[in-house]
Structure 1
Amino acid sequence: MLSFTLVEKSEARIHIIHSLADDRIPFCPYFIIPYVLWYFFLIGTIAYFALFCSSKKEYYQYIGTLAVGMTLFILVSYVYPNGQNLRPDLSGESGVFVSAVRYLYKIDTPTNIFPSIHVFNSVASCIALFQNERCRKNRLFTAAQTVLTVSIVLATMFLKQHCVSDVMTALILNILCYQLFYRVIPARQEKLAEIFTRKEILTVPNLLSFIRLGLAVLFLGICERHGMRGNRPVLTMIIMVAAATDFLDGRIARAFHQVSKIGRILDPLADKAMQAVMLACLMSRYPLVKLVLILFVVKETYMLVMGWKVMMETEATGEAQWHGKLNTAVSYVVVMVLTAGVRLPYSTANVLIGACAVCMAMSFAMYASEFRQILERKNSLMGPKIRRNSDGRDWI
């Protein structure tokens, strides 16, 4: 709530979210009832799992879902200041429900609405209660809380508090969190417990990677909220600090034997996040950067899929190669020059951007070749598979 208050009070350029579906949904002040009941529904559900539910597992599943959803909401609100202009003029209207909506409009601004935290928390509470065996046995309670959840979701749109896009994004986020906390983590709990230990997490290289992730968010937030003009010194300093953490974390990990499984994931994740953010912020000024960003997305998507395949089918660890490090270094230097320097001629800027694209394409091709060779060696060691037909003959 403190973070949300700070984001709400800070001045920023607002991106208006709107779709044709929003114009077709009528305004209905009676939905103020389920909208207000959301507060009691959320507080009651939290109190139940914190005080009256004996399962710690269900408590952490529910609280973890809320924490992830609301943290992502704060991050989105910071890096993508958003709002809507759907609210009707209620100055000539009268009635208890209209007065309540008018008061709601007064205390709640139509900004930072994406995704709808009202929808996300409602559905998360509904799912948690449905997963609880004690609550699920009470059919009347299950039906009532399901109806209330659906009413709350509809209320956000019929009161013109949220757009359809806010609601749909919140529902998608609910699906992802449900898969994570109620399916993936329970199925791999023992394996994850071995990886996510204090010794694995609390290392200096991991701290540097977390700092780099935070710098990526800060960089994007400054560019989206205030623009690059007037903030060049700050943005340049962020790039320099991010590059320094990228240079140091791997060397510290190897020198002090702090290499961890989490670090093998966190380090490249922080690198890719920072590179993606830097390229995205330059697109509006240098059109050629759009092509580099497309190449970056294709390359990293391929790396993610093939890297996972290689790690699952072989014993390869997926270490960064020299050409990948060269690509990262060139990206940092090019973005730093384009951000810190005076406005360069487009010809000069395009040459630098082209050099970044060439290094990226070279690294892409070399990683693809290495992945292919690893998989071919693995297949050759396994040899041809001999199978037997129903008539007794063998075939490969």
Structure 2
Amino acid sequence: MRQDWKREYFSVPNLMGYFRIILIPVYLWLYFNASGTADYVKAAAVIGISELTDCFDGKIARRFDLITEWGKILDPIADKLTLGAVILSLTFRYPLMRAVVLLYIVKEGYMLIMGGLMMKKGRHMDGAQWYGKVCTAYTYVMIFLLLLIPGLPAMATKAMIGLCCLIMLFTLASYVLFYGRMRKEAGEEESH
């Protein structure tokens, strides 16, 4: 019994998930205490380490049969907390990022509610959809550019942030359609 508990909560991939969560306050401290470009590069490096860890935890879990129910919960929590903390921190230098934060909260809140409703009906998503991956990838590219090149012209930052908002809106609309189809299919299955 003890071994099962250890495997469920303390497998290498799950330890990597905990590590990613621990990196959030490290990033925040570096970001808010930055006094120049070198400090922002350090903050970006912490996020880079977090993202590399995210890339490998799933591969390790699958390769060594270390997939756990807790890991399926922990990994997306670490993803959302990391991205949320980073985009929120950027609002202090780039006020337009508030729109990204708002859209992020709406998108993630919607997905959480709909995912819960679908699970109640016995349905679930098998991983992120392509548009969700594109949205996350673009958001991280934008984040790294904003962190690594703090002196970007205002027009460039506004364009990047605006594009991020458009991509998030497209992603939200796509998930609304996706969950609409899932609900319809679940309703049709219940009526048969």
The TM-score, its normalising length taken from structure 1, stands at 0.45
Match of 1:347 in 2: 155
Q: Distance in 1 between matches of 2:35 and 2:94?
A: 13
The answer to whether the aligner puts 1:274 opposite 2:77 as a matched pair is: no
Match of 2:129 in 1: 321
Q: CA deviation at 1:260?
A: 1.6
Match of 1:336 in 2: 144
Q: Distance in 2 between matches of 1:298 and 1:332?
A: 18
Match of 2:103 in 1: 295
Contact kept, 8 Å, 2:115 with 2:124, in 1: the verdict is no
Q: Distance in 1 between matches of 2:70 and 2:171?
A: 24
Q: Distance in 1 between matches of 2:144 and 2:80?
A: 16
Match of 1:305 in 2: 113
Q: Distance in 1 between matches of 2:39 and 2:186?
A: 51
Q: Specify which of 347, 368, 383 is matched with residue 191 of structure 2.
A: 383
Q: Specify which of 346, 371, 375 is matched with residue 179 of structure 2.
A: 371
What does the per-residue CA deviation read over 1:332-351, in whole Å, with 9 as the maximum and x for residues that have no partner?
Answer: 11111111114000111112
Q: CA deviation at 1:219?
A: 1.3
Match of 2:53 in 1: 245
Aligned runs of 1:157-236 on 2, under 5 Å?
197-224=5-32, 226-227=33-34, 229=36, 231-236=39-44
**Any stretches of 5+ residues in structure 1 without a counterpart?**
1-192, 385-396
Contact kept, 8 Å, 1:243 with 1:332, in 2: the verdict is no
Q: CA deviation at 1:366?
A: 1.7
Contact kept, 8 Å, 1:239 with 1:332, in 2: the verdict is no
Q: CA deviation at 1:273?
A: 0.7
Q: Specify which of 66, 90, 93 is matched with residue 285 of structure 1.
A: 93
Amino acid at match of 1:365: A
What does the per-residue CA deviation read over 1:49-70, in whole Å, with 9 as the maximum and x for residues that have no partner?
Answer: xxxxxxxxxxxxxxxxxxxxxx
Percent pairwise identity: 31
Q: Distance in 2 between matches of 1:266 and 1:210?
A: 8
**Any stretches of 5+ residues in structure 2 without a counterpart?**
none
CA shift in 2, pair 1:228/1:331, >3 Å: farther
Q: CA deviation at 1:227?
A: 4.2
Report the structure number with the largest CA radius of gyration: 1
Contact kept, 8 Å, 1:299 with 1:364, in 2: the verdict is yes
Contact kept, 8 Å, 1:311 with 1:318, in 2: the verdict is no
Q: Distance in 1 between matches of 2:62 and 2:162?
A: 33
RMSD: 2.0
Contact kept, 8 Å, 1:209 with 1:266, in 2: the verdict is yes
Match of 2:63 in 1: 255
Q: Distance in 1 between matches of 2:87 and 2:113?
A: 22
Q: CA deviation at 1:209?
A: 1.4
Match of 1:62 in 2: none
Which structure has more relative contact order (CA 8 Å, sep 6+)? It is 2
Q: Distance in 2 between matches of 1:371 and 1:228?
A: 45
What secondary structure is seen at the aligned counterpart in 2 of 1:343? coil
Amino acid at match of 1:329: A
CA shift in 2, pair 1:366/1:382, >3 Å: same
Q: Distance in 2 between matches of 1:370 and 1:287?
A: 31
Q: Distance in 2 between matches of 1:248 and 1:280?
A: 25
Q: How many residues were matched structurally?
A: 189
